[in-house]
């Protein structure tokens, strides 16, 4: 196993995640297998209970982990599923040790921060990396933070075990350009390197993030003042698209330098053609579609928003690149629709109602769905979006006035969206995260639906659930056999089976469902056959979209939006 450790200097949010993902992508291009581990030094056990507006999106893995969004970047760049064990938090490390101590696993020893904490961290990293040529470990936070120390210690200790030639350190640092001076400053990065040195670590590579490119003068200055080998300080300026980053690193020969540092040869020559083409379409499209994203945003502001729905944004870009168009997202506050009506939707080529929780803005979302349905406007509903579509159809087509979800209206006369009692019991028994349905679940699709056609055309139909079985959790497969699709979930409520027949009779087609072991069918997809594109899913397909392999539903949605008007 070869280890690459990525740390961040000067500020948080410097782009370590994209740097880590890009390094992995580059190594893959040279023929090596790669995985990545994200370390979050906080005490939370996972990101499940964290506020998305503060922390960004909660990423969901196939095996049901609720994780920091960086795992999403790794998957988008590497092109395969990363399991939840690849996210380590301090909370998990301590819980493991305390549980072991309580059950007598330490046989009377004193359990101490050194060596037990780094040992557990090392065990976890080795476990994640064991089947790969490389494991890249991204240590969250910024150098100098107290809570990072055990992780730097563990890295150093792994270096001793694996040998110096098998471990490389990458510092991603920030170089500010203060307004009053107007020049890029290297000092904060020099100090970050000094902090790293205090942990006994000398960075092999420094990636210099900044508004602009690093010039030669400053590159030399950093090399000299911090004893970095010539050619190992890289420029990492702001980019239009994150998919540009590995291309930029390669332009400075990062890959061959890294392999050289680790005494390795290229196993194959990189071929960046597809990746470059996708990146160029995302950066400079000939035509741009306007997509309205209907959510409850009032007090968040558009800045935090981009991060809260990062996977949806990226999925739209991937699909756009394949259709050959750019996608511009406009955030529409559902509460504004409640106050001012649906006029604001007139200029869009399509709308998305993404995932969400709680009652705020719900009537605005339902009004937006109605507008899309009645005006042949392409609509994609994601999780809560499907629930909104079902409520809208029940109310306005099936004449079930006041139909609602019991999440918002527990006493509704028509609980078309509800928690299923059997589901609750089942979930409690198997103890996976209380009442949430989390992670990938198999669904069988009805042929002759738009959804089926899209999954088929994109090669996403699975035979006999091979992949589900790989996750090794029987309940994910359920009783579904034959041709399946796999999408990830993160929700509590379901379409109430008691209303399915009535909704279908009125024209709403449920094109796919998951059959649980107890025989209950959970609706996974719905669509309207006579609409340009009116498709919703109970899942979160945005967690399975990559630049080179866009999500089928996003692809169908963008194609339809491109043909609208």
Residue among 30, 174, 243, 384 that touches ligand GLN (CB under 6 A):
384
- Span 124-143, contacts to ligand GLN by CB under 6 A: none
Which residue, 15 or 356, is less far from ligand GLN as judged by CB?
356
Minimum CB distance to ligand GLN, residue 370 (Å): 19
Residues 6+ apart with CB under 8 A from 297: 305, 331, 333
Strand partners, 515: 521
DSSP for 137-158 reads EEE-S-TT-GGGHHHHHHHHHH
407 near ligand GLN (CB under 6 A): yes
Three-state secondary-structure class, residue 289: strand
- Determine the Cα–Cα distance for residues 435 and 357; give it in Å rounded to an integer: 14
- Determine the Cα–Cα distance for residues 42 and 295; give it in Å rounded to an integer: 29
Angle between helices 362-374 and 384-396 (to 10 degrees): 70
Residue among 55, 116, 491, 531 that touches ligand GLN (CB under 6 A):
491
357 near ligand GLN (CB under 6 A): yes
Minimum CB distance to ligand GLN, residue 389 (Å): 12
Scanning 90-98, 149-157, 269-277, 484-492 for contacts with ligand GLN by CB under 6 A, the matching segment is 484-492
Residues 6+ apart with CB under 8 A from 173: 8, 9, 10, 14, 188, 189, 192, 193, 206, 207, 208, 209
Residue among 249, 254, 493, 543 that touches ligand GLN (CB under 6 A):
493
- Span 172-211, contacts to ligand GLN by CB under 6 A: none
- Nearest partner of 564 among 319, 347, 314, 369, judged by Cα: 347
Closest residue by beta carbon to ligand GLN: 355
Other Cβ atoms less than 10 A from the Cβ of 370: the count is 18
Catalytic residues: 383, 540, 542
Three-state secondary-structure class, residue 42: coil
The secondary element (H helix, E strand) that includes residue 441 is strand 437-445
# of chain residues touching ligand GLN (CB under 6 A): 10
- Span 220-259, contacts to ligand GLN by CB under 6 A: none
365 near ligand GLN (CB under 6 A): no
Which residue, 18 or 383, is less far from ligand GLN as judged by CB?
383
Scanning 115-123, 423-431, 451-459, 488-496 for contacts with ligand GLN by CB under 6 A, the matching segment is 488-496
Check if the beta carbon of residue 222 is closer than 8 Å to that of residue 197.
no
383 near ligand GLN (CB under 6 A): yes
- Determine the Cα–Cα distance for residues 281 and 547; give it in Å rounded to an integer: 11
How, if at all, do strands 205-210 and 167-174 pair?
A: parallel
Which residue, 69 or 186, is less far from ligand GLN as judged by CB?
69
Structural tokens at position 22: 């890009």
Question: Is-cis flag, bond preceding 115, omega within 30?
Answer: yes
- Determine the Cα–Cα distance for residues 1 and 515; give it in Å rounded to an integer: 41
* Angstrom distances, CA of residue 58 to CA of 68, 219, 531, 532: 6, 37, 32, 31
CA angle 547, 5, 77 (to 5 degrees): 5
Which residue, 49 or 220, is less far from ligand GLN as judged by CB?
49
Scanning 12-20, 353-361, 371-379, 473-481 for contacts with ligand GLN by CB under 6 A, the matching segment is 353-361
> Position of tokens 């969901």?
60
Scanning 233-241, 354-362, 424-432, 449-457 for contacts with ligand GLN by CB under 6 A, the matching segment is 354-362
> Position of tokens 């055309």?
457
Residue among 24, 72, 140, 355 that touches ligand GLN (CB under 6 A):
355
Which residue, 255 or 355, is less far from ligand GLN as judged by CB?
355
Scanning 136-144, 308-316, 350-358, 470-478 for contacts with ligand GLN by CB under 6 A, the matching segment is 350-358
Scanning 227-235, 453-461, 486-494, 498-506 for contacts with ligand GLN by CB under 6 A, the matching segment is 486-494
295 near ligand GLN (CB under 6 A): no
Which residue, 321 or 383, is less far from ligand GLN as judged by CB?
383
- Nearest partner of 23 among 211, 191, 246, judged by Cα: 246
Minimum CB distance to ligand GLN, residue 159 (Å): 41
Minimum CB distance to ligand GLN, residue 176 (Å): 38
Which residue, 476 or 491, is less far from ligand GLN as judged by CB?
491
> Position of tokens 């332009």?
251
- Span 409-438, contacts to ligand GLN by CB under 6 A: none
> Which residues of this chain interact with ligand GLN, rule CB under 6 A?
355-357, 383-384, 407, 490-493
């Amino acid at each position: 196993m070869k280890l690459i450790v990525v740390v961040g200097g000067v500020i948080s949010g410097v782009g370590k995640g994209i740097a880590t993902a890009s390094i992995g992508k580059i190594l893959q291009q040279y023929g090596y297998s790669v995985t990545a581990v994200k370390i979050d030094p906080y005490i939370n056990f996972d990101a499940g209970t964290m506020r998305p507006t503060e922390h960004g999106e909660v990423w969901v893995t196939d095996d049901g982990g609720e994780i920091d969004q960086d795992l999403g970047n790794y998957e988008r760049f590497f092109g395969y599923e990363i399991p939840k064990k690849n996210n380590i938090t301090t909370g998990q490390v301590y819980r493991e040790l305390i549980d072991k101590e309580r059950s007598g696993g330490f046989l009377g020893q004193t359990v101490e921060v050194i060596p037990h904490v780094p040992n557990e961290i090392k065990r976890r990293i080795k476990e994640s990396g064991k089947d790969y040529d490389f494991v890249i470990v991204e240590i969250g936070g910024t150098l100098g933070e107290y809570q990072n120390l055990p992780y730097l210690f563990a890295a150093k200790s792994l270096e001793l075990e694996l040998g110096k030639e098998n471990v490389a350190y990458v510092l991603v640092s920030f170089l500010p350009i203060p307004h009053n001076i107007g020049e890029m400053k290297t000092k904060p990065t020099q100090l970050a390197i000094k902090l790293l040195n205090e942990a006994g670590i000398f960075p092999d590579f420094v990636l210099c993030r900044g508004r602009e490119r690093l010039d030669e003068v400053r590159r030399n200055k950093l090399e000299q003042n911090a004893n970095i080998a010539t050619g190992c300080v890289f420029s990492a300026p702001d980019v239009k698209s994150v998919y540009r980053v590995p291309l930029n690193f390669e332009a400075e020969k990062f890959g061959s330098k890294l392999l050289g540092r680790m005494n390795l040869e290229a196993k194959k020559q990189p071929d960046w053609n597809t990746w470059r083409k996708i990146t160029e379409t995302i950066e400079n499209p000939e035509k741009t579609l306007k997509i309205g994203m209907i959510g409850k945003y009032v007090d968040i502001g558009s800045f935090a928003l981009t991060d809260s729905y990062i996977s949806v944004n990226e999925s739209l870009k991937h699909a756009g690149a394949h259709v050959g168009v750019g996608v511009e997202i406009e955030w529409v506050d559902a509460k504004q629709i409640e106050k001012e009506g649906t006029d604001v939707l007139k200029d869009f080529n399509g709308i998305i109602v993404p995932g969400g929780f709680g009652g705020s803005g719900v009537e605005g979302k339902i009004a937006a769905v109605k507008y899309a349905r009645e005006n042949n406007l392409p609509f994609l509903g994601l999780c809560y979006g499907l629930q909104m579509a079902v409520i809208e159809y029940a109310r306005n087509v099936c004449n079930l006035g006041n139909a609602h979800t019991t999440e918002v209206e527990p006493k509704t006369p028509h609980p078309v969206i509800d928690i299923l009692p059997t589901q609750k019991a089942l979930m409690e028994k198997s103890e996976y995260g209380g009442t949430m349905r989390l992670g990938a679940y198999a669904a069988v699709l009805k042929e002759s639906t738009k959804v089926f056609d899209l999954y088929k055309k994109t090669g996403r139909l699975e035979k006999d659930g091979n992949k589900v079985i790989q996750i090794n959790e029987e309940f994910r497969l359920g009783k579904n056999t034959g041709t399946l699709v796999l999408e990830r979930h993160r929700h509590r409520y379901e379409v109430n089976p008691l209303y399915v027949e009535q909704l279908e009779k009125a024209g709403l087609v449920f094109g796919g469902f998951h059959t649980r072991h107890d025989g209950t069918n959970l609706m996974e997809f719905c669509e309207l056959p006579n609409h340009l594109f009116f498709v919703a899913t109970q899942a979160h397909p945005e967690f399975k979209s990559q630049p080179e392999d866009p999500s089928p539903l996003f692809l169908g949605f963008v194609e339809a939006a491109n043909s609208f008007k």
